[in-house]
Chain A
Amino acid sequence: MPQFEQIDTFVGQIFWLIVTFGVLYFLMAKVALPRLASILEERENRVSGDLEKAERLKQEAEEVLTDYQKAIADARASAVAALKESADEIAATSAKRQAAFDAQLSEKVQIAEDKINAARSEAMGHIKNVAKDVAAAATSKLLDTDVTDAKLSKAVDEALGEQN
């Protein structure tokens, strides 16, 4: 086995091992590893930066959504309030008008009733006179006696009262 026979190459192999390993160590420690470390760190920062940004944007979107919903709710509440107010107003106005109308109507009815009453009592007066005249004429013609005016009125009043 050359590994145990070529003893004279041992020093040379160890020498070159140390030299080449030393060179590689230097290159790794000074160039390759710092570069790799910075690349990985940069990526790490970038990725977490992006994630943070996305999370912040999400937060903002959520806030906007909350605001929007609040605005909607507010608008709805104020619309309901406005609606109620106008409904109340309408109700009040129509009630007032109704009341005015009622008043007017009852006044007219009153006037009409008064007129009717007046006409009736006038008519009654006329009927009484006529009845008196008829009764006077009838008694004078049939009985040939004159009845006093007072008696006549009394009898007519009684007859009319019975009718009423």
Chain B
Amino acid sequence: MPEPEDRSSLTDLDKRLRAARERQNQGTKPESSNRADAASGMAVGFRISVEIVAALIMGFGIGYYLDQLLGTKPWLMIIFFFLGIGAAFANVVRVAKQLENKKRFRENHEDRAE
């Protein structure tokens, strides 16, 4: 008596179904930003320099404004300029951390959403 042969076609179907299911689950969470990253080296450099300049401007600006307000002419300007330098460092560190996070995020692909 001949053995039924269609077992193999069923397992094949099973495999394809599983693949389709996986693809569908993947589809809800596609890799979000690989393409933008490719050309972002320049953007990262630019971003860091802008962060530094913005922090310096802000520090200097606050000092200048407070000096005008309180009549303490160069002192607050100087103090806040240095704070601006500190803020620039803080900004750069923050950017670096964000980039690091993003890289790690992409590597282990875990949702950090709470």
Report which of B1, B6, B14, B17 forms a contact with A65, defined as CB distance below 8 A. Answer: B6
| Contact A58 B13, CB 8 Å, known A47-B24, A48-B24 | yes
- Cβ distance A4 to chain B, nearest Cβ, rounded Å: 14
A31-62 residues at the B interface, CB under 8 angstroms: 44, 47-48, 51, 54-55, 58, 61-62
**Contact at B6–A51, with CB atoms within 8 Å?**
no
| Contact A61 B24, CB 8 Å, known A69-B4, A76-B1 | no
| Interface size counted on chain B using CB atoms at 8 A | 12
B13-52 residues at the A interface, CB under 8 angstroms: 13-14, 17, 20-21, 24, 28
Residue B112 interfacial (CB < 8 Å)? no
Residues of B within 8 A of A48 (CB): 24
Report which of A44, A51, A54, A61 forms a contact with B10, defined as CB distance below 8 A. Answer: A61
Residues of A within 8 A of B6 (CB): 65
A-B contact count (CB 8 A): 27
Residues of B within 8 A of A55 (CB): 17
Residue A18 interfacial (CB < 8 Å)? no
Residue A72 interfacial (CB < 8 Å)? yes
**Contact at B17–A58, with CB atoms within 8 Å?**
yes
**Contact at A72–B1, with CB atoms within 8 Å?**
yes
Report which of A44, A51, A62, A69 forms a contact with B20, defined as CB distance below 8 A. Answer: A51
**Contact at A65–B28, with CB atoms within 8 Å?**
no
**With A and B bound together, what is the CA distance between A90 and B95 in angstroms?**
96
- Report 8 cross-chain contacts, Cβ distance below 8 Å, ordered by A residue: A55-B17, A58-B10, A58-B17, A61-B13, A62-B10, A65-B6, A65-B7, A68-B4
The list of the 7 closest CB pairs from A to B, nearest first, reads: A47-B24, A51-B21, A58-B13, A54-B17, A55-B17, A51-B20, A62-B10
* Other contacts beyond A44-B28, A65-B7: 14, CB < 8 A: A47-B24, A51-B20, A51-B24, A54-B17, A58-B10, A58-B13, A58-B14, A58-B17, A61-B13, A65-B10, A69-B4, A72-B1, A72-B4, A76-B1
